[in-house]
Structures are given as structure tokens and as C-alpha cells.
Amino acid sequence: MRNFSYAQATSRADAIALLQQPETMSIAGGTELLNWKRIGIVEPARVVDITGIPDMEGVEALPNGGVRIGALTKLNDVAQHALIRDAYPVFSQAILKAASAQIRNLATIGGNPLQRVRCAYFRAEEPTPCNKRVAGSGCSAVAGIHDKHAIFGWTEDCVAVHPADPPVALAALDAAYVIENAKGVRRVPVQDIHVMPSENPAWHNILGNGDLITAIEIGAAATTSAYLKIRERESFEYATVSAAVALDLDGDVIRRARIALGSVAMRPWRLNATEQQLVGQRIGSSEAVAAVDAGFVDARPLSSNAYKITIARNATLRAIELAARAA
Ligand SMILES: Cc1cc2nc3c(=O)[nH]c(=O)nc-3n(C[C@H](O)[C@H](O)[C@H](O)COP(=O)(O)OP(=O)(O)OC[C@H]3O[C@@H](n4cnc5c(N)ncnc54)[C@H](O)[C@@H]3O)c2cc1C
Ligand code: SF4
């Protein structure tokens, strides 16, 4: 492991200035970064600890009815906050199904979307062709082990999925990351922070040197919402597929639906066709089932993961039912 220098940022401006230096990475909870260093995925010359920055932790109500969450807030603190638990159950549930209680006490909500793919070739300790490890080296998974990989939006250059849970719920809530750098502040819709393989198979996200996620903003809550995570064991396991649903209802008639799937693509995947066709349909009707099926017309399985389409479709139907039942 390469030696690195360590600095503690005292303010957002301090962190942004330090992070503009070459070969420099920030560290928050460290639950991902330290694993990457151990495996040799990253070898920064400098690490900037951002955990001491004031004003980047906590949950507060916004005047428009939404909430703002500081990027340094620990996953468990977000999930258990009354404002989140009561108004955005889909987000609270997604967080509580991520990792383990111990990791959630350390990991931050701003670091979570920046975790990298779980593809075994990417995480291998021995060199293996992988465009995300070494740009241009190829993709071992496309003709190799890929049963947990993408069913939407992949290319031959990378078929991995983004594995996080909380961003899937945030995508269904139309949330945005607040990102600061030396030029100012910008708000980026949650799913747009991730880079699809067609844009650049070597990249995970759009953050550059000096970019700091300072907060997450969510708008007014939906009538009801729910998160369903399908995984091989019920605890401490990444999703095979997950479904986040936020519904506005009038009785059992859907007025507005927002649905995002997790672990099916390199970003949370909104089912736009399904959302449009669900409007005006009754929960549980054959029209609602047909609307869900419409979202999978573009699904494209790899040679050994067609089962994920069936699971994702059924998880979507079940998550809609769970949200309706909780209304
Ligand atoms: C065993 C294990 C199981 C897990 N299971 C799940 C799971 O089921 N679901 C799930 O969603 N996640 C899971 N995770 C991932 C976990 O949630 C993430 O590791 C965690 O959220 C990352 O947050 P952190 O604060 O520790 O980030 P760090 O490790 O400190 O940083 C991660 C990356 O984000 C950057 N970064 C951190 N904060 C900021 C910021 N504010 N602005 C800009 N850059 C920043 C760092 O530079 C680094 O590149 C698991 C992790 C482990 C180790
Ligand atoms: S799927 Fe992506 S991460 Fe996995 S080997 Fe291919 S390029 Fe690497």
C-alpha cells in the first residue's frame, strides 16, 4: 500500500481547496475508501478527512415542504430521523436494508452513492481485464460471470450495476445532490451523478477534483412509498434487484407514480413508461400490471441473467402493492 499524507479539512472552502490538488481523495466514513486502498483500486498521494467540517451533518425541513440532509449524516441517523421516517418511508427503508448496523453507524449518506461496482473482476486482487480498473483493458464480465449484472443500459465495455440502495429511493423521490466546488454550487438530479457505460465505461460518477457533495435535497413527500430489496440472504447483502415506489393516490386510483429500480443498471433506473401508464389506473388492476410490463420492453439481459427481468418486474408489482397498503 502506498504511503499517503493526511489532512483534516476545517471548512467546505478548505476541503474544496485541498481536493483540487492532484492525486487527492476525500474520506468520510472510510467504509469504501479503505477497502479500495487495501485491494489496490486507488492509491491517492493525499487523503483529506472531511468529517470535521461544520454544517454538513443533520436533517432539516425546507420551507417548500421538503428536507435537506447534510452529506456527512450517518446512514442510521438519516433513516431514524422522524422527518425521514414519517414522510419518506421509501428512503428510510432503503437505508436500513443497506450493509450492516455497524457500517451504517459509520458510513455517510454523501459517501454512499460514490461507492463503486461490486463486479468481481473490478474488485479482484490479481490484474484482470476491466475497463473500470484500467481504462481500455476490456470487460471480463461480458463473456464471464455476470449473473448479477445489468439488464438495462449496458454496453460491451461494461455490464456492471451500481449496487447502492439509498440512491434508488432518492431517484424515486426526485431528489438532488448539492455539489460545491471552487466555481460555486450546483444541484444534480440523483440518477445523473452516475456515468453510464455509453458515456464512459471507465468512470463511476461525474465528480471531479474539488467537487464536494454537501447535501441532499428532497421535495415534498408523496402520499405513500415503499422499498423492496430482493437479495440472496435477508441481511448484510447487496441487492439482486430492488424497487423503490412513490405514489400519489386518490383512494385506490394512482394520480402519480414514481418508480426506480436498483442493481439493474449503472444508475438507479426510472421506469418512465410504467410511470406514465399507471396514471389513472386502479391498484391491482390488469391495466396496472400491463403498465408495469411496459417498463420492461427495453430490458436486455446478458447470457446468464434473464432471471433478473422476472424478479425486477415482480418486485415492482409487489412494491406498488406495499406502498398502496401503507397509505
Ligand atoms: C461489507 C459492506 C456491505 C455493504 N452493503 C451495502 C448495501 O447493501 N447497500 C448499500 O447501499 N451500500 C452498502 N455498502 C456501502 C456503504 O454504504 C458505503 O461504503 C458507504 O455508504 C460509503 O460512505 P462512507 O462515508 O464510508 O464513504 P468513504 O468510504 O469515506 O468514501 C467513499 C467515496 O466517496 C467520496 N466521498 C465521501 N464523501 C464525500 C462527499 N461528501 N463529497 C465528495 N466525495 C465524497 C470519497 O472520496 C470516496 O471516493 C456496504 C459496504 C460494505 C463495506
Ligand atoms: S462489468 Fe465493468 S466493472 Fe466488471 S469487468 Fe466489465 S468493465 Fe470491469
DSSP labels for 33-69? HHHHHHHTS---SEEEE-TT-TT-S-EEE-TTS-EEE
- Tell how far the Cα of 283 is from the centroid of ligand 1, in angstroms: 36
* Contact criterion met (CB below 8 Å) for 9 and 53: yes
Return the closest-CA partner of residue 160 out of 267, 266, 309, 298. 266
C-alpha cell, 186: 450546483
Side chain identity at residue 186, one-letter code: R
- Tell how far the Cα of 228 is from the centroid of ligand 2, in angstroms: 26
What's the average model confidence in pLDDT over 113-137? 96
Binned at pLDDT 50, 70 and 90, residue 126 comes out as confident
Q: Is the CB of 238 under 6 A from ligand 1?
A: yes
**Which residue's CA is the nearest one to ligand 1's atom 28?**
30
Q: Is the CB of 107 under 6 A from ligand 1?
A: yes
DSSP symbol at 158: B
Return mean pLDDT, the chain: 97
For residue 91, give the ligand nearest its CA: 1
Whole-number Å distance between alpha carbons of 227 and 246: 9
Whole-number Å distance between alpha carbons of 278 and 183: 41
159-178 pLDDT per residue, tens: 999 999 999 999 999 999 99
291-305 pLDDT per residue, tens: 999 999 999 999 999
Residue 293, SS3 per DSSP: helix
Cell 415506489, located at residue: 245
Q: What residue spans in the chain does CATH classification 3.30.390.50 cover? A: 224-326
Whole-number Å distance between alpha carbons of 128 and 134: 9
**Which class is 5-52 in CATH?**
alpha beta
CATH superfamily to which 224-326 belongs: CO dehydrogenase flavoprotein, C-terminal domain (3.30.390.50)
Whole-number Å distance between alpha carbons of 85 and 277: 29
Q: What residue spans in the chain does CATH classification 3.30.43.10 cover? A: 5-52
- Tell how far the Cα of 251 is from the centroid of ligand 2, in angstroms: 45
Q: Is the CB of 164 under 6 A from ligand 1?
A: yes
